[in-house]
Amino acid sequence: MKCPFCGYTESKVIDSRPAEEGSTIRRRRECLECKKRFTTYEIIERMPLVVIKRDGSRQGFDKVKLINGMVRACEKRPVPLKKLEQIADEIELELQGNLDREINTIEIGEMVMERLKNVDEVAYVRFASVYRSFKDINTFMEELTKLLSDKTEKT
């Protein structure tokens, strides 16, 4: 690590501790040449995730947009925001674990619906109705029937 004071490239770590809820490590260093101290931060380098939208355009993955979509589906439902943030974290972690850096919105939507189905069925149906672009009442009823049959199979 290059000293910000004298430019010497050798330093020793004096103190090291987690920062920002464990996602960063803060290190206090001392330059071996001028003996001045400075702080560095070590973070995990993440490759950017690119989302391929339905129209073929691409944009960076945005966890806030994912949470906002779930918040709309859960409006006036007893689902805590903390749970939605947890779902978004799980999805982001799963996507980061994939070798493919490009992900289709269809796959992300399926991941959200899979999790919402276990959290709140009404929120699941709301999200599915927007995500799957229900065209009429029959499409809506098909999804409800599928949900009811899944529920019956589990009991």
Tell me, yes or no, whether 75 and 148 share the same domain.
yes
Tell me, yes or no, whether 132 and 149 share the same domain.
yes
> Bigger pLDDT: 57 or 147?
57
Tell me, yes or no, whether 58 and 35 share the same domain.
no
Indicate the pLDDT class of residue 55, thresholds 50, 70 and 90. Answer: very high
How far, in Å, CA of 119 to CA of 33, rounded? 58
Of residues 1, 67, 63, 11, the one with CA closest to residue 34: 11
Report how far apart, in Å, the C-alpha atoms of 60 and of each of 9, 96, 118 are: 35, 13, 28
How far, in Å, CA of 77 to CA of 85, rounded? 15
* Residue 1: inside a domain: no
Tell me, yes or no, whether 22 and 85 share the same domain.
no
For 127, the token pair is: 């999200």
* Residue 4: inside a domain: no
* Residue 73: inside a domain: yes
Cα-trace Rg, the chain = 23
* Residue 150: inside a domain: yes
pTM for this predicted structure: 0.64
Residue 36: domain span: 11-43
Tell me, yes or no, whether 122 and 138 share the same domain.
yes
Tell me, yes or no, whether 75 and 149 share the same domain.
yes
Strand order in the sheet with 58-60: 58-60, 50-52, 102-104
- Asked if pLDDT for residue 58 goes beyond 90, the answer is yes
Contacts of 92 (CB under 8 A, 6+ apart): 49, 61, 63, 66
For 10, the token pair is: 């050798």
What's the pLDDT tens digit per position in 100-142? 889 999 899 999 999 998 999 889 888 988 877 776 777 777 7
* Residue 59: inside a domain: yes
In the prediction, which pLDDT does 155 show? 62
In the prediction, which pLDDT does 149 show? 80
* Residue 105: inside a domain: yes
